[in-house]
Amino acid sequence: MTELKDDMAAMAADELERALTLGWRELAAVVPWGDAYDGFSPAGRQVTVERNYLWAEADGGDILCEVFVFGGPSRWDEGVRVNGLIRRSAR
């Protein structure tokens, strides 16, 4: 990976770790849901972070959390995407 990709990957991993702490019961009430914000990566680069919560397979089941970090609209295709599951059984 390049320094830029490593930086965005670190930001995405940190954001995913935080996003996965949300509870299934609270999220189930608003899925599908997503948000985006502009922030700064660990190396100080300005980035956009998008989080999306979607049903992983079927409504009412596990929730897929996707995090996408990129360097703004013109660099969307150079971003880093990570994801994880919030399991219904873990509620």
Per-residue pLDDT, 80: 96
What is the residue extent of each domain of the chain?
3-90
pLDDT at 1: 59
pLDDT tens track for 27-83: 999 999 999 999 999 999 999 999 999 999 999 999 999 999 999 878 888 899 999
pLDDT bin (cut points 50, 70, 90) of residue 89 is confident
Alpha helix stretches (DSSP H) within 1-91: 3-19, 24-28
What is the distance between the alpha carbons of residues 12 and 31, in angstroms, rounded to a whole number?
21
- pLDDT interval class at 4 (50, 70, 90): confident
pLDDT value, residue 90: 57
Task: Please state, in angstroms and rounded to a whole number, the distance separating the CA atoms of residues 45 and 24.
Answer: 32
Give the contacts of 42 (CB within 8 A, at least 6 positions apart).
Answer: 7, 10, 11, 14
